[in-house]
Structure formats: C-alpha cells, structure tokens
Structure 1
C-alpha cells in the first residue's frame, strides 16, 4: 500500500499529560508535511493550535478523556468549548460503568447529545475495547450505529492495551455502513497500519507512524 494512502488516514496524536507547546507545534508541522487526516491534541491546546495551523490541517481533540466517567453535562460543555475554540473533530469516551450496568439508554442519550453539540463536525466514539467483553463490544457497535455518530473508535491508548485486528474485524461486522472505524493505540508499524486499513479502519490514531517515517528518511531508508 502506498504510504501516502496510509498517512491520509492518520490522526497524528499527542495526548500525553506532559506535552509541551513545542512538542505540539512539532506534530502540527509534521502533520502538514505528511498530509495526515488531523492532529489529535489535548483540549487546552485547541485554540492555540487552530491559530497556528489555520486551515492547513484538521484539529481533533478529546472529550471525557481518558476515563469517560464525567457527567453528560460536563462532556457536552467540553464539546461546545472545544468547538468554539476551533476543533474540527471530537473523540469522546463512553461511560464504561454505565455499559457494565446495562444502562444502554443512558449511553445512547449521551452520545446523541454530544452529536447534537457537534452539529456538522465529526464525532468519534471511543469504547475502550480492552475493558469490554465481546458481547459489550457488539452492543456498543449497535449503540454507536443508532446514535448517529460518525466513527466508532477502539481505544484511548491510556488503558491496558490498544487496537487489535480482532476488534476492527468485529466492528466491521456489527456497525452499519454509515459508521466508520478508527483503530487507535499501539499501532507501531506500517505493516500494522496497512492491516488495520484492510480490515476496515478509515482512521488510525497513532503517534508512531510519522515518527517511523521520519526516522527511516533520516537513515536513508
């Protein structure tokens, strides 16, 4: 697969608590250079990043991150705040406790409220697959489909593990054709990236692919 096609599906990500402005600027520069889908950065940097990149690259940020157990009102406010600061895409974390409780209507309602707040902006729903049973993953595929969200996303990258090929295969089987798939967390090679895309992922949340490309270019690869 042409690497350009892989780059076009990457959300170039830096969400570490220690991320500095210089590091955020660097991933923005790299994102523009390599033509990725977006930069995914902490909410506190959204306004500054939008002013820095203008319309050269889409700006993505996270809501209810990484644990997802904020109240719905807080998540909706976070979303509106991020959008007012210039965010183009929102990646929200579900309330996993509600899922474990079987309170599916509350999860659906929360996603719908955040989708309304997003208006025409892209909403991705992070379900943190490493903490779920297969039955719960299938249930979330159905809830995300019903919610009107644009993407279902595997992971935050801050829990026990990230994306797996099996989870993306499962998503492809159970979400509707209208819902796209984002694999995130632990994608460390071009081979893995290509495999996730072949299995149905339209986006890849990763910080490593661009770093790998830069290192290979630097070594004369």
Structure 2
C-alpha cells in the first residue's frame, strides 16, 4: 500500500501566504503525495512549483459553500484548467440538494465535469449538513453527472469524514467511482481505517505527521502521539 499516493496535501486555508504555498508544494514533492489541493489563485503557482515532480495539481470550484451560480463554477473550472490544474474538487449546491432538486444538482455537477475537459472531478457533498438519504442521493447524482469521485467534506463545516459516511458512500456508487475522505484525517490510523472502508484518497494538512508515523511503524518503533488538530481546510 502506497500511503503517500493516497494523500491530497491541502493548502486551502484563507490565511496562507505565497511562501506558505511554496512550502506546502515542497512538502508534497518531497513526500511524493498524489496531489496538492490549492486555492484557485494558487493553481498556476503550484503548477510551476511542482513541474516534473509527478505530483498533481488540484484546486476547488464553488468552494467552500457550493452556492455560486453554475455558470460561475464552470467558468472557474475552465480557468483552473487553463492554469494547469489536473483535478477539480467542486462543492455541490447543498441547499438545492436538501430541497430535493435533483435536476439542479445533477446539472450543476455536469457543467463542471464538461468544463474540466476530461480532468478528474471530485464532488464534495459536505455530509455534516445532510441526512443519510441525502448523502445517498448526492452520490448517485454525482455519478449520473459523470464525476469521478465523491468526497465527504470541505474541512470547513462542523464535521468531517466518518467511518459510517465512507461505508454509506461506498455502497451508494458504482465500483469505478472513488471516495475521498476529508476533514479530520490527521492520523495514520484514521487514514487506514477509512481506506479499509473504501476511501482511496484523503485530504490532509497533517501529511508529514501521517507519513512520519508510517515510517516509524515500518522501522518497528512505538507509535507517536497523534498531532494536534488543525482548523479549516481538512
């Protein structure tokens, strides 16, 4: 199991400076993670910083509330593609989903999928605001709209990834649709437990702590203390 290649190193907090983004990209490159997930304005910077490293550049559309106009989400996605983004994590319209407006939610996602021009699209459900039947509906609508992943959370809501949600999401989509866990994934044990339940990608700010813990275990050392929680953006 290549744990590093399941991690999207998150660089989404609003207070991050350009220097912070450069440091985050350096961590991502040194640790050979799957991707960085950066704010839209940082996509071009990350593309340059990570050139030749094999680390993908991800960014976000309609983040973090999901309530921007569909046309704006699509335009944002096209701009991210132009800036060199490989993956798009979009937030569905949470309120319309809670309304039961399936057509709106499906079309909103489909517009981003079309604008992504074949690039990977991950649909953030923001499960903290949803009942189980709404989570199931969101998963099915994301698949119908052509998305590649369904994702638990932005990291900015009251709750993040849970084992129950990963199990429910895995049962609600076809095998080719992947699951991303985000929000509260701060330890190796959490990552491994959610992976066993079906998650294949993880949004994390505690990337180095997780991978240091993995290396320590592989050396046969005793587990270290879990890192302190960080607020916002996974």
Which TM-score applies when normalising by structure 2? 0.88
- Is 1:12 matched up with 2:9? yes
| Alignment correspondent of 1:95 | 93
In structure 2, C-alpha distance between the alignment counterparts of 1:106 and 1:157, rounded to whole Å:
24
| Correspondence for 2:182 | 184
Counterpart of 2:26 in structure 1 is 29
Match of 2:119 in 1: 121
Q: Is the 8 A contact 1:187 1:209 kept in 2?
A: no
- Paired with 2:112 and 2:123, the residues of 1 have a C-alpha distance of 10
CA contact (8 A) 1:60 1:87 kept: yes
**C-alpha separation between the residues in 2 aligned to 1:215 and 1:154?**
24
The corresponding residue for 1:141 is 139
- Are residues 201 and 215 of structure 1, via their aligned partners in 2, closer, same or farther at CA, if it must alter by over 3 Å? closer
Where 2:9 maps in the other structure, the secondary structure is: strand
CA distance in 2, matches of 1:76, 1:105: 17
Once residues 121 and 191 of structure 1 are traced to their aligned partners in structure 2, the CA distance between those partners, rounded to angstroms, is: 30
Determine the structure 2 residue equivalent to 1:58.
56
Compared CA separation, residues 103 and 22, structure 1 to 2 (3 A): same
* Paired residues of 2:9 and 2:37 also in contact (CA < 8 A): yes
**Structure 2: runs of 5 or more not aligned:** 222-234
CA distance in 1, matches of 2:110, 2:174: 16
Kindly tell me the number of residue pairs found equivalent between the two proteins: 217
Q: Which moved more, 1:83-92 or 1:52-61?
A: 52-61
Cα deviation for residue 100 of structure 1 reads 1.3
Separation in structure 1 between the aligned mates of residue 213 and residue 163 of structure 2, nearest angstrom: 25
3-state SS of 1:79 partner: helix
CA-to-partner distance for each residue in 1:40-98, whole Å, 9 max, x for gaps?
A: 01011111111121142100001100000000000000000111011010000001111
Label 1:71 to 1:160 Cα distance change in 2 as closer, same or farther (>3 A).
Answer: same
Please name the residue that 2:80 is paired with.
82
Cα distance change, pair 173–216 in 1 and its aligned pair in 2 (3 A) = closer
Deviation (angstroms), 1:10: 0.2
User: Which one of 62, 65, 68 corresponds to residue 67 of structure 1?
Assistant: 65
Q: Distance in 2 between matches of 1:107 and 1:119?
A: 19
- 3-state SS of 1:51 partner: helix
Contact preservation (8 Å) 1:61, 1:90:
yes
Match status 1:160 vs 2:158: yes
